[in-house]
Each structure stands twice: as structure tokens, then as C-alpha cells.
Amino acid sequence: MTPFHLHDDIPPWEDLSEELLDAIQSQTEWLYHVPNSDPDKDGLLTLPAIVLPDTIILPQLLGPLMLSGEENAAAARAAAEAGTTVAVFILQDLEKENPTWGDVFPIGVEAAVAPPYTMPNDAYAALLHGRRRVELVNILQTQPYPIVQVRPLAETQPDDEESRALRQLALSTMEQFVELNEAVPEEVYLYALNTDSLGWLADTMVMALSPTHEQLMAFLSTTDPKQRLSAALKHMQEALARLELEDEIHSRVQNEMDRNQREAYLREQMRAIQSELGEGDFWTQEINELRQRVEKANLPDEPKARALKEIGRLSQLPPMAPEVGILRTYIEWILDLPWTEETEDNLDLAHAAQVLEEHHYGLPKAKERILEYIAVRTLKPKRPRQPILCFVGAPGTGKTSLGKSIAEALGRKFVRVSLGGVRDEAEIRGHRRTYIGALPGRILQTMKRAGTINPVFMLDEIDKLGNDFRGDPSAALLEVLDPEQNYAFSDHYLEIPYDLSKVMFITTANTLATIPPALLDRMEVIEFPGYVEEEKLLIARRFLIPRQMEESGLEPEEIHFTDAALQRIVREYTNEAGVRNLEREIGRVCRKIARLKAEGKRFPKRITAKSVARFLGPPLYFDMETEKEDEVGVATGLAWTVTGGEVMPVEVLLMEGKGNLRITGQIGEVMQESAQAALSYLRAHCDEFGVDAERFENTDIHIHVPEGAVPKDGPSAGVTMAIALISAFTQRPVRHEVAMTGEITLRGKVLPVGGVREKVLAAHRHGIKTVILPEQNQKDLAEVPKSALQALRIIPVQRLDEVIKVALLPRPAAAENKAAAEVTPTPDS
Ligand code: ADP
């Protein structure tokens, strides 16, 4: 049988010196030869006794024990000298102070003992070799060392199927246990493997398990080997399960560490490959470059600190990490936005006036206001709280180009952004970076384009801002425009306050009606009224034609547009308050000529009214010229649309029926109500007009407003509908050269309307001679160009009777009978 060797690395004996170890080695041999003591005739052994609190040497095991106390050392010495064995016991209760023999656990072990040696701390230690379990019977002496009588406990050696299976299981469990438990030397397992006694195997296992005091007492007192082995196995399996769990945790941690190490290794390799390829350590290089850019950029403290912090985060990431792109974009944004770059304002008023005059015809109010604005800046250079200008007018009336001229006059950058259809606050203020693909909002995107912190910034189409569940963009816009707040504008993406206070904001809109009131409140409105034909011709000559010729590559003065040609373009190819389409059509003519020139063909030097049709194809608009004759049931109204004024014929048709009213054409609710009001007025006054009240019961009325493409609404067609109705019922023709506008009340009063300037200009364009206007609108005529007013007869009215007097002709005699025939049912129908 291979003995359980004591060797160098038995752990609890850290204090053992080399010499001691040698001594122990030599003693080991000797110990094995000490014979077991012989029992007397009563089967008892009389032995010196050693009592230790909680350690013992189990049978068949060899090991050193610390012998506390002089008595123990003396007992060991006596036995060693006599070459006999000792009895070793433990205490029953470790808590007990000053234990006596009554406190000793009655089952102990007989063991051979080598002469004890003194430890450096004056304690004693001795090597022991366990032999067999003994039971305490008698204490014969206690001083100078205890001598006791003990009875050896016999142990069976079962060899049945069950024991063999148990042994196998115990060994395989122990094998795993030893493998996993680093504190137990592998020799313990080898020793166990060579033990055929179940009891010894059990004891070996128990010692490998470092049992608790309780367990030790239980094991000592279990003399049945099978029982003991079963118990030891159970403990070992539990210990093994714990070890396996620890091992699993350990290996998980290890795996994690391994993976990190592997990545680090691979990254190192990648660097090596890159430097081999001459790319250097591109990532570190990139990070460094980025850092240098931030250091060099003229950033204020906050964005700078933020950028450096994000670069710090970036440098922690491997170059291929998904966050890299997001972080980089963010840092680039900080770098690309203007933070301090500023252009110096040119506050020379004469220069500004000159620039505005050079680029724009007319627009006196707007120009004047802008010069005032610049003047205030000169006097109060430090952040003047000037109102935001809002340019309102139809498309093509020069709002944008005037904005550009302001920028030019001041020597500032010009940028614009359209707000048309913006419904989401995030479009103004950006998305938080947690969104995939998040970017700053339109304001900061445009600031980036501007590249300076003080551009002229045009916010187009604020009348077309939407709002819905995604948040109200006008609230964000308020913050942009409010000088109290916009020095620290917060964009969700950027997260750092951004100073917009030096920006000169100008907003534009086609109509005031749909601008959110809170916004309108902050702004000073400058109206851009449409142009009359003469103005358009002037603008075309001075600005549009030279520009379009140049853009088409034609020499200045190479071609000449006659007045008639321009007039034709204005009347038949455009229908607008501004000059945008006019410019486009002029451009088309220029390009056609440029092509002829480029092909080496002959081209006309003079563009006449006739050649216009050749170049531009058939006309797009026919003069509505209204009716060429005075007719019954048709009146000419004047309407306002976003593109300017329009003439709007209203037709009324009467049919035999049940008194229904039908209204068609692209008309809104308010206009339907005006029609009802007009009809009610007529019914209430039918006597005055000589209309039989019964006719309303058996006549269906159809009101139609042609030119349906443009939706129309508003109450201003009231007068026109009333006149058309009265004309239809009375058969009095409407004078064809009269146009009218005005709201009516049920009692026939004519109320003022909006858009007078555009309406009057439209009437003028369409060759109308007389315009009937609500009296209260007379003040608006100041805005109508003189040339138009001179060509028109304007008739201010307060009541519908006045309109009737001007607009309706007397009933022709021939119509009398016809009218009667029309509505009087024939007897057999
Ligand atoms: P808006 O912004 O009001 O829609 P734009 O400023 O784009 O109009 O004007 C359209 C074109 O008409 C531009 O080329 C502009 O130069 C020209 N234009 C408009 N009004 C004038 C004007 N009063 N004088 C000179 N050119 C003008």
C-alpha cells in the first residue's frame, strides 16, 4: 500500500524550515514501524493521551499536528521514547472555557507519534500516524501528562456488490474533486485508489474535505465503513458541485478576459499590418488630427470642451464600432458650425441705398424700412432689439431678392430656408442623438451653410408652417426669433446652446392670414404689393431682360424686346402679381434665340408681339376680358388669391323647379353663405324689383363661378352674386365693363373687403372700365399705382341699391314677354 506521503507543499505548515522537513522525512519511516499497542485481557489499551481542540489524525493517515500545551508534548515525548502509540482526542464543545476530561469527545484515534519538536513560536509539533478508532474508557492519570484506558473499535471490511459500487462512485467523485480542488494534492487520490478498505477510503475523503468540527465528530463515531463512506461521498459531492459552480464562473470570467485579450491582440495585429502597409496607426492618427482640429478651431469653451470629451469617448472605441460614425458626425458638426466667425457690417447708408436701388425697381416702403433698420444699427451697434421683418406678398414680388440685396448692402452672408410644410418641431430643432440618423434642425443646418454667426437669414413661407401631434414648429420658431431667448438656442441634436442673436432674420409669407398669431406678433410686416403692367415692363427692361440675356450667353443689347412683345408676354403668358413667370418666359425667348445663334442661323434682333407667339407657342391665358356684351345673369366680381387679384365672373341660371339653390365652382363655405344672403335680400325686396314672390317657390337657382382652378372663398363676392341674381330674376342685363367687390348684409349694406390693391389692378389688367368698391375701402386706393387709377372709374358705394344703379341696365322691352313665358308653367305641363 502506498503511504500517504508527507511532502514539501502540505499547506498549513508554512513555518516548517528545510531542516525540520528533513527531520520529518526521516521520522516518517520510523513511525511506520511503531507497532500498535496490545490490548490487555479486558481488550483495553493503556496509552498516553493527547487532547486537541478540533484536529485529529484519522486512521491510516500520516501528518503533523500542532500540540498545544505542555501535557500534550509530554505525552507525545513519553510515547515516542517508549516506542508505543498514543490516544488522540478532540473536544466535544469548542466554546467551553477551561475544558476538563468530561468535555472530551469519547471517540479518538490511536496513533504512532514521532518525538515532538519545538516550533519557532514555542509551540510543539509532532508527526503522527493514525492507526485505529478507540473509545475512551478510563482516565488513569492527568499529570504530568494524561494516561488513559481506551478500547479499540473493530471495523468490518465489507466486500459486497453495493460496497464495490459505492467505492467506485467515491473514487470517481474524488478524482474530479482532486482535479478541481487545487488545495488537495493529487497524491491523495492516488492513495485512495490504492486503499481497498472502505473505512480508510472514507477517512481519506473526509480529511481532503476539511470537515467542520461537527462533521469530524460524526465521522469519528461512525464505525460502519459503508455508512461512513456514504456520508463522506455525500459531502464530497456537495463540495464538488460547489467547485464546479466556481469553476464555471471562473471560466466564464476567463473567457471574457480571453476574448478581450484576443481583441487586443487582433487590434495590435491590425496596427502592425497597417504600419506594414504604410498606413501608420491610422486610427490614433485620425483621433489626433480631430483633436488638433478642435484645438485649432476658434471654438468657445463649451463646444470645445464638449468636442474634446466626445473625442475622448471616440478614442476608446475600436475604429469599426458602430458608435464611431455617430460620434464623428457630431464632432464634425461642432467643428463645422460657425461659433465666432463674423462678417463686419457695412453700415454706410448711402452704399446701402445704392445697392437696394440698383437691384430693385420700386418697393419704396420696403427700401425705406431697411435703411431705417441699418440706421438704427449704426447708432446702437450693441445688439439692437430690432423687430424681425416679415415680407408679405405674392410670389415673384421681389421678397427674396430684396433680402439678398440687404445682405449685400450690409456685407453679410445670405441664407434662406423654406418652412413650407414643416410640421415637426424636430425639423426646426433637430432630433436627439439617440435617434438613428439624427441631425440638427433646419436652423443650424442653415447656419452651417452660412459659415458666419451674423448672416441675413431668410425664413421662407412661414405662412405655410404646419402643426400636428409631432409638436408645434411655431413654438420652436418663436424661440429662434425672440431676441430674449435666441442667444442660447437649443437644438436637440447639438445639446449645446447656440447663439443666434447676431443673425438678422427676415421671414416671408404670401399671406398674413395663416401666420400663427404668436409669430405675427413678433414681426414687423412689410407688404410687397403686386406690380401693374407698366411696372412689370420697367422691371423687365431694367432687370429681367439683361439678366436673362446674360444667362443665355447673349451679348448685351444683342436683341431688343418691343413694348408690345412684353405686354403680350405679361397678358397672355403670365397671370401673376409678381414677375417670376415673366422672367421665366423672357428666359425662354432668350434661350431660343441663343440656340439659333449657336447653330449659326439667323435670328431676329427685335422681339415683337408676333415673334413672341412663335417662340413661346400658343398663349396660356386669354384675357378674361369678361363679357364683351351686356348680358343677363352674369356679373363680374373681383377676387383676391395668393398670386394676386383676379376677375371672377359669377353666372346665375334660373330653371323651373322647387326653389332649390345650387352653387358650383371651386368655392368655400363663406361664399355659399354670401350666396344665401344675396338671395334672401332679393326675396325680401322682390316687390321693389318687380319680381313675383311665388317665383322663388317654383324656380331652381344655379349659381356658378367659372375659372374653377383657383379655390375662392371669402365674403367679398356677396355684391357680385346679388347683382347676378337680381339680373337673372329681373332680366336686366349687367353692364359688361363694370366689375365689383364687397360683402353684403341681409339689409343691403355693402361692407369693406381685403386685397383692394390687387383687385383693382386685376380689373385694370382685364380692361374693366368701372370698379364698384365699398365706400370704406376708398382709403386702400392710396396703394394703387396712379396709372391704374387714371384708367379706371372707381365708384364707392354704401348700399346695394347704389350698385344696382351703376351695374344694371334697364330691362329691354323684348325680354318682358320672354321672361314671363320662361317661368310661367304652361297649363298642360
Ligand atoms: P419672391 O421671393 O417674392 O417670390 P423673388 O425675389 O424671387 O420673389 O423675385 C422673383 C424675380 O423677380 C427675381 O429675379 C427678382 O429679381 C425679380 N424682381 C421682383 N421684384 C423686383 C423689383 N422690384 N425689381 C427688380 N427685380 C425684381
pLDDT at 825: 45
Ligand 1 centre distance from Cα of residue 580 (Å): 7
* 607, amino acid identity: I
Across the range 82-102, mean pLDDT stands at: 88
* DSSP β-ladder status, 523-528 and 388-393: parallel
- What separation, in Å, do the N-terminal and C-terminal C-alpha atoms of the chain show? 138
Nearest CA to ligand 1 atom 27: 398
Ligand 1 centre distance from Cα of residue 793 (Å): 30
Q: Which of 243, 216, 244 is nearest to 232 (CA)?
A: 216
Nearest CA to ligand 1 atom 17: 398
Ligand 1 centre distance from Cα of residue 626 (Å): 29
φ/ψ (deg, to 5) at 798: -115, -30
Secondary structure class of 663 (helix, strand, coil): strand
* 299, amino acid identity: L
* 739, amino acid identity: A
Q: What is the largest CA-CA distance in the chain?
A: 168
Ligand 1 centre distance from Cα of residue 427 (Å): 28
Q: Which of 165, 141, 145, 153 is nearest to 110 (CA)?
A: 153
For the CA of 394, the nearest atom of ligand 1: 3
Candidate from 356, 397, 526, 570 with most ligand 1 atoms within 8 A of CB, to mutate: 397
For the CA of 393, the nearest atom of ligand 1: 3
- Look up residue 395 and give its DSSP letter: T
Which pLDDT tens digit goes with each residue over 488-509? 898 999 999 999 988 999 999 9
Report the DSSP beta bridge partners of residue 135.
107, 151
Cα distances from 668 to residues 335, 375, 639, 751, in angstroms, run 52, 46, 13, 19
Q: Is the pLDDT of residue 421 over 80?
A: no
In this prediction, what percent of the chain has a pLDDT beyond 90?
Answer: 25
Q: Which of 490, 500, 476, 493 is nearest to 440 (CA)?
A: 493
Nearest CA to ligand 1 atom 18: 398
Ligand 1 centre distance from Cα of residue 572 (Å): 20
Distance CA 594, CA 611 (A): 15
pLDDT at 3: 32
Q: Is the pLDDT of residue 416 over 90?
A: yes
The H-or-E segment that residue 682 falls in is helix 669-684
Which pLDDT tens digit goes with each residue over 735-787? 988 999 999 998 889 999 888 888 898 888 788 889 999 999 999 888 788 87
For the CA of 542, the nearest atom of ligand 1: 25
Q: Which of 607, 582, 581 is nearest to 594 (CA)?
A: 607
**Do 244 and 177 form a contact (C-beta atoms < 8 A)?**
no
| Pocket lining for ligand 1, CB < 6 angstroms | 360-363, 393, 395-401, 539, 543, 578-580, 583
pLDDT at 828: 41
Q: Is the pLDDT of residue 102 over 50?
A: yes
Helices assigned H by DSSP within 181-316: 186-193, 198-208, 213-221, 225-276, 282-296, 301-315
Distance CA 354, CA 409 (A): 8
Distance CA 374, CA 368 (A): 10
pLDDT at 185: 80
Ligand 1 centre distance from Cα of residue 354 (Å): 17
pLDDT at 6: 37
pLDDT at 400: 92
Contacts of 330 (CB under 8 A, 6+ apart): 310, 433, 493
Candidate from 370, 579, 584 with most ligand 1 atoms within 8 A of CB, to mutate: 579
**Do 761 and 645 form a contact (C-beta atoms < 8 A)?**
yes
pLDDT at 811: 84
Q: Return contacts of 384-389, CB within 8 angstroms, 24+ apart.
A: 385/483, 387/522, 387/523, 387/524, 388/481, 388/505, 388/506, 388/507, 388/522, 388/523, 388/524, 389/505, 389/506, 389/507, 389/523, 389/524, 389/526
pLDDT band at 279 (very low <50, low <70, confident <90, very high): low
Nearest CA to ligand 1 atom 24: 360
Q: Is the pLDDT of residue 4 over 70?
A: no
Candidate from 511, 569, 580 with most ligand 1 atoms within 8 A of CB, to mutate: 580
Nearest CA to ligand 1 atom 10: 396
φ/ψ (deg, to 5) at 578: -90, -155
pLDDT at 365: 84
For the CA of 535, the nearest atom of ligand 1: 23
Q: Which residue has the higher pLDDT, 666 or 788?
A: 788
How many CA within 13 A on the CB side of residue 257? 6
Nearest CA to ligand 1 atom 5: 398
pLDDT band at 444 (very low <50, low <70, confident <90, very high): very high
Q: Is the pLDDT of residue 113 over 80?
A: yes
pLDDT at 642: 62
Ligand 1 centre distance from Cα of residue 400 (Å): 7
Which pLDDT tens digit goes with each residue over 606-649? 888 888 888 888 877 765 555 578 889 999 998 877 666 788 88
Cα distances from 788 to residues 198, 366, 738, 778, 792, in angstroms, run 127, 21, 15, 15, 7
Query: Burial level of 41, CB count in 10 A (0-12/13-18/19+)?
Result: exposed
pLDDT at 826: 40
Nearest CA to ligand 1 atom 26: 360
Which pLDDT tens digit goes with each residue over 154-186? 888 888 888 888 899 999 998 888 888 888 888
- Look up residue 808 and give its DSSP letter: B
Q: Which of 66, 54, 44 is nearest to 110 (CA)?
A: 44
Average pLDDT, the chain: 84
Sign of CA dihedral 533, 535, 537, 540: negative
- The catalytic residues are 716, 759
For the CA of 460, the nearest atom of ligand 1: 2
CA 660 to chain centre: 56
Q: Which residue has the higher pLDDT, 669 or 233?
A: 233
pLDDT at 7: 37
Across the range 472-477, mean pLDDT stands at: 82
How many residues are listed for the chain in this entry? 829
Across the range 18-31, mean pLDDT stands at: 73
Ligand 1 centre distance from Cα of residue 585 (Å): 14
Ligand 1 centre distance from Cα of residue 397 (Å): 5
pLDDT band at 829 (very low <50, low <70, confident <90, very high): very low
Q: Which residue has the higher pLDDT, 545 or 516?
A: 545
Which pLDDT tens digit goes with each residue over 517-549? 888 888 889 988 778 778 889 999 999 999 999
pLDDT at 150: 92
Distance CA 175, CA 289 (A): 60
Ligand 1 centre distance from Cα of residue 544 (Å): 9
Distance CA 230, CA 242 (A): 19
Secondary structure class of 126 (helix, strand, coil): strand
Candidate from 543, 574, 586, 590 with most ligand 1 atoms within 8 A of CB, to mutate: 543
Q: Which residue has the higher pLDDT, 18 or 627?
A: 18
**Do 176 and 238 form a contact (C-beta atoms < 8 A)?**
no
Cα distances from 143 to residues 48, 99, 118, 275, in angstroms, run 11, 15, 21, 84
Ligand 1 centre distance from Cα of residue 560 (Å): 21
Report the b/e string of 393-422 with b at 16+ CB within 10 A.
Answer: bbbbbbbbebbbbbbbbbebbbbbbebeeb
**Unique residue bearing C-alpha cell 471654438:** 299
Ligand 1 centre distance from Cα of residue 453 (Å): 26
Which pLDDT tens digit goes with each residue over 313-335? 888 877 777 788 888 889 999 99
pLDDT at 49: 93
Candidate from 355, 401, 406, 584 with most ligand 1 atoms within 8 A of CB, to mutate: 401
Which pLDDT tens digit goes with each residue over 359-385? 888 888 889 988 988 888 888 766 556
